[in-house]
Amino acid sequence: MIVLVDANAEWRAAAATVLRESGYEVHARASLAGLAHDAPPVPDLLIVDVASIGAGGEVLGTLPRELRARFAGVALLLLSDVYDEQAIGGALAGGAADFLVRTTHWSLLIERVGRLCRMTRVQFELATSRDRLAKAHALAGVGTFDFDPRSSMLHGSAGSFAILGFDAMRAAVSAQEFMRLVPAEHHESLICAVDRAIREAAPVALELPLTGAGGRPMTIRVAAEPLRDADGRVTMLRGVIRDITDRQRAERDIERMLNADPLTGLPNRNAFLVSCATAIAGAQHGVYGVAVVVLDLDRFAQINESLGQVAGDEALCIVGERLEGDLAALCDGSGGIGVTGAAAGADPRGGAVLARLPGDRFAVLLPQVRDPAEVSAVVQALLRGFGRPLTLAGAECFVSCCAGVALYPRDGEAAGVLLARADAALVDAKRRGSQSVAWYVRPLDVHGRARLKLLNGLHKALERGELSLRYQPWVDVARGALGGVEALARWQHEGVSVPPVQFVALAEQSGLIVPIGEWAIREAARQMRAWRDAGVHVPKVAINISTIHFEQRSPARTAREAIGENHLEPGVLEIELTESCMVRDFDRTLQALHELRDLGVGLSLDDFGIGYSSLSYLTRLPIGKLKVDRSFVRMLGMSVEGEAVVRAIIALGRSLRLQLVAEGVETIAQARALLDSGCHAMQGYLFARPVRAAELPEAISRIPQRCGLVSGRAAPASPDHPEPACEGRP
């Protein structure tokens, strides 16, 4: 339908006829008067002559206000008698779609009218589909927006403003106004994300908690893409926001169902394992350990049988509540027992977690253990808490429990493994009787008869002279010189060389580690004498002595004798304290260490970072050197976090005024990273493998060249590769 308003009756009639012949319906009239009421509801086109508008419009060529509202979205074709540039310009600026100088070239009129009618129809369809999209968005809780970084204005669809609680009629809000909805602690991350998207022209997606303009707390998900101009500059971020509040709530409900024990409301096994994995990740190669304690009620079956299952359930609830209270009191973050959690502050128990396991078992996670003694203290205190009677089904009764403990990293590196090991320890504790505590003890790889055979072999090894030492140099890379050698035991058993990892544990469990350690001291001292006599300069030799040895006998006497017999200075001997297990008799160990130090023997702590050494322990031991475990060195070049850990250890060693030696250096890259961090003493395959005494001079002669590769003073012979994988000559 076309509405034609023209005071020129003759042209109007002729034009109406032509248009009708072309298939249009035409509503023709002489003036605008009354048009608002008589015209068809939604015409496709208005054709109006400028003269008739001139009478009623405020601006030449624009329709009066009420008509503009009435015919919003309908294209306006202006008719004029002359080509008046100013009038036409004003009309087009005022919203007219096109103009036509009155003509009797009817094909011109038909062409213009056809195009404008099509335009109106397309616009109408567009408006309809926009409306439909807005409704769909509203149903799905989705809205769209454009963010203009230059004006800092957020132009949003009605849907997005409805989500955010703004007046849906608004077309834009300022970034400032939007930020008022976002909690202050999220401002920085949001601004960073937007900045990065603009700077790097990269898409951005984030979840944001906020308070809607109407005060409703909600979470939205925002995903936006940058739009660029012809020069590649980002001019706009265009995106979608989605209200994910309900979805998040549902997820939280499901999570709660999956992670809580329905009887006690405590975290279940699942949740416990997750907390444990988080604690392990937090403690990874730190100075802290993570303890898992499994508690199992003694004779719980009797309660169930004699008082019924309801009373049994009640007992579990009471025990759960009491354990929770006791744990909170013990680990209140006051530092009393030193159990402060990763989430300290957020959790009143300082990150300690209590969970219920299936049956009558509970598990406790202590995430930041500085000293195993702290764990013992917590476990003993929890067990003492069972001294209070419970009232069940009107009767007073006592329950007690046993505990099994496993410690990261000693007993396992994964949450599931630690829990299983604490369980295994619990079996031991149960065997010992009610209210017992057992720590996990690693079983030997060999069992029964095979173990006995190996043990017999090891007993005879010393008499038969089957043990020997290999020597691995450690070097001062900055000076390009040998610092000393470490003596490493080998056992030639039935024709094969057995490395210490396979027999040291057996020797420790059987007590054979003491004669082996003393033999190693004597043998190393004898070898030092032999090198001296042969003119081979070896500044120091280090001997590995297990903590178990220290508890049973002080190695000082043997060291003194070995030094005397071989006419050596005490300073050429060094003892490496190897922590295969926790020092149980600290006083005795400390006394033995002091005796060695007074003698003038050097002391170092081996495998630092993975053993049991806590900070408090470190400061109390009279050691002069830390050997940084090779698992840290392996982290170099693998991750930024790994490098940060190594740097922190080096800084720690420095602040304690300890000498540092990095173990297991295999590549030039690792060595350079260590040098950059300020650690120049290194040991590892890059410089030399453990070799027989006779092969040491040759290994020493290669050291300056190896050090040169690291400091860049010599051209690398081979790229970043360690030595071939053989140990000396067979």
Site residues, Mg ion (CB under 5 A): 544, 576, 606-607, 627, 663
The residue within the footprint of ligand C2E, chosen from 39, 236, 297, 489 (CB under 6 A), is 489
Residue 16 binding ligand C2E, by CB under 6 A: no
Q: Are 46 and 76 in contact (CB under 8 A)?
A: yes
Amino acid at the residue 669: A
Question: Which phi-psi region, left, alpha or beta, contains residue 15 (left: φ > 0; alpha: ψ -120 to 50)?
Answer: alpha
Residue 607 binding ligand C2E, by CB under 6 A: yes
The residue within the footprint of ligand C2E, chosen from 190, 241, 488, 649 (CB under 6 A), is 488
**Gap between the Cα atoms of 114 and 551, Å rounded:** 104
Question: In the bound complex, what is the minimum distance in angstroms from residue 565's beta carbon to Mg ion?
Answer: 24
Strand, coil or helix: 228: strand
Copy the structure tokens of residue 434: 């009610």
Question: In the bound complex, what is the minimum distance in angstroms from residue 330's beta carbon to ligand C2E?
Answer: 35
**Residue number with CB closer to ligand C2E (117 or 504):** 504
Residue 169 binding ligand C2E, by CB under 6 A: no
Closest C-alpha to 372, from 289, 440, 285: 289
For tokens 């101009």, the residue is: 229
Residue 574 binding ligand C2E, by CB under 6 A: no
Question: In the bound complex, what is the minimum distance in angstroms from residue 359's beta carbon to ligand C2E?
Answer: 40
57 interacts with, out of ligand C2E, Mg ion, none, CB within 5 to 8 A per kind: none
Question: In the bound complex, what is the minimum distance in angstroms from residue 654's beta carbon to Mg ion?
Answer: 20
**Gap between the Cα atoms of 554 and 585, Å rounded:** 12
**Residue number with CB closer to ligand C2E (6 or 666):** 666
**Gap between the Cα atoms of 371 and 287, Å rounded:** 10
Copy the structure tokens of residue 531: 């090198």
141 interacts with, out of ligand C2E, Mg ion, none, CB within 5 to 8 A per kind: none
546 interacts with, out of ligand C2E, Mg ion, none, CB within 5 to 8 A per kind: ligand C2E
* Total H helices, total E strands in the chain: 26, 27
**Residue number with CB closer to Mg ion (508 or 606):** 606
Residue 684 binding ligand C2E, by CB under 6 A: yes
SS percent in the chain: helix, strand, coil, step 5: 45, 25, 30
664 interacts with, out of Mg ion, ligand C2E, none, CB within 5 to 8 A per kind: ligand C2E
The residue within the footprint of ligand C2E, chosen from 278, 472, 604, 667 (CB under 6 A), is 472
Q: Are strands 353-356 and 437-439 parallel, antiparallel or unpaired?
A: unpaired
243 interacts with, out of ligand C2E, Mg ion, none, CB within 5 to 8 A per kind: none
The size of the interface with ligand C2E (CB under 6 A), counted in residues, is 26
Question: Which region, judged by CB under 6 A, interacts with ligand C2E, from 101-109, 497-505, 552-560, 710-718?
Answer: 497-505
**Residue number with CB closer to ligand C2E (52 or 578):** 578
Residue 499 binding ligand C2E, by CB under 6 A: yes
672 interacts with, out of ligand C2E, Mg ion, none, CB within 5 to 8 A per kind: none
Question: Which region, judged by CB under 6 A, interacts with ligand C2E, from 195-203, 370-378, 442-450, 499-507?
Answer: 499-507
Give the per-residue SS3 of 378-389. Answer: HHHHHHHHHHCC
Question: In the bound complex, what is the minimum distance in angstroms from residue 512's beta carbon to ligand C2E?
Answer: 10
> What are the E-state strand segments in 501-616?
541-546, 573-578, 602-608
Closest C-alpha to 593, from 585, 579, 603: 603
Closest C-alpha to 612, from 428, 411, 344: 411
The residue within the footprint of ligand C2E, chosen from 156, 642, 664, 728 (CB under 6 A), is 664
Question: In the bound complex, what is the minimum distance in angstroms from residue 669's beta carbon to Mg ion?
Answer: 21
**Residue number with CB closer to Mg ion (268 or 544):** 544
CA distances from 433 to 350, 384, 436, 442, 695 (A): 32, 16, 6, 21, 56
Question: Which phi-psi region, left, alpha or beta, contains residue 298 (left: φ > 0; alpha: ψ -120 to 50)?
Answer: beta
Q: What phi and psi values does residue 177 have, to the nearest 5 degrees?
A: -65, -40
**Residue number with CB closer to Mg ion (677 or 683):** 683
Residue 544 binding ligand C2E, by CB under 6 A: yes
Question: In the bound complex, what is the minimum distance in angstroms from residue 506's beta carbon to ligand C2E?
Answer: 12
324 interacts with, out of ligand C2E, Mg ion, none, CB within 5 to 8 A per kind: none
Omega within 30 of 0 (cis) for the link into 267: no
Residue 57 CA, chain-centre distance (Å), reads 67
- What's the angle, vertex CA 154, arms to CA 149 and CA 155, rounded to 5? 120
**Gap between the Cα atoms of 48 and 91, Å rounded:** 11
**Residue number with CB closer to ligand C2E (53 or 541):** 541
Question: Which region, judged by CB under 6 A, interacts with ligand C2E, from 251-259, 261-269, 275-283, 512-520?
Answer: 512-520
Question: In the bound complex, what is the minimum distance in angstroms from residue 621's beta carbon to ligand C2E?
Answer: 17
Q: Are 295 and 323 in contact (CB under 8 A)?
A: yes
Residue 611 binding ligand C2E, by CB under 6 A: no
645 interacts with, out of Mg ion, ligand C2E, none, CB within 5 to 8 A per kind: none
**Residue number with CB closer to ligand C2E (99 or 685):** 685
| Residue with the shortest CB distance to ligand C2E | 684
Residue 286 binding ligand C2E, by CB under 6 A: no
What is the DSSP-derived secondary structure letter of residue 571?
G
Residue 578 binding ligand C2E, by CB under 6 A: yes
**Gap between the Cα atoms of 670 and 636, Å rounded:** 6
The residue within the footprint of ligand C2E, chosen from 546, 558, 566, 670 (CB under 6 A), is 546
For tokens 């065997």, the residue is: 431
Strand, coil or helix: 280: helix
**Gap between the Cα atoms of 366 and 368, Å rounded:** 6
Question: In the bound complex, what is the minimum distance in angstroms from residue 666's beta carbon to ligand C2E?
Answer: 4
Question: In the bound complex, what is the minimum distance in angstroms from residue 421's beta carbon to ligand C2E?
Answer: 21
Residue 690 binding ligand C2E, by CB under 6 A: yes
Concatenate the DSSP letters of all residues of 609-638 into one string: TTSS--HHHHHHS---EEEE-HHHHHHTTT
Concatenate the DSSP letters of all residues of 447-460 into one string: -HHHHHHHHHHHHH
Amino acid at the residue 217: P
Residue 555 binding ligand C2E, by CB under 6 A: no
Q: Are 60 and 99 in contact (CB under 8 A)?
A: no
Residue 212 binding ligand C2E, by CB under 6 A: no
The residue within the footprint of ligand C2E, chosen from 369, 606, 614, 670 (CB under 6 A), is 606
Question: In the bound complex, what is the minimum distance in angstroms from residue 290's beta carbon to Mg ion?
Answer: 22
Which is it for the CA torsion 501, 503, 508, 509, positive or negative?
Answer: positive
Site for ligand C2E in 73-92 (CB under 6 A): none
For tokens 């609680």, the residue is: 165
Residue 663 binding ligand C2E, by CB under 6 A: yes
CA distances from 543 to 554, 582, 617, 657 (A): 14, 19, 21, 22
Site for ligand C2E in 612-641 (CB under 6 A): 630
The residue within the footprint of ligand C2E, chosen from 513, 514, 674, 691 (CB under 6 A), is 513
Q: Burial letters for 244-255: b for 16+ Cβ neighbours within 10 Å, e otherwise?
A: bbeeeeeeeeee
The residue within the footprint of ligand C2E, chosen from 314, 410, 666, 680 (CB under 6 A), is 666
* Residues found near ligand C2E in the complex (CB under 6 A): 472, 488-489, 499-501, 504, 513, 517, 520, 544-546, 576, 578, 606-607, 630, 663-666, 683-685, 690
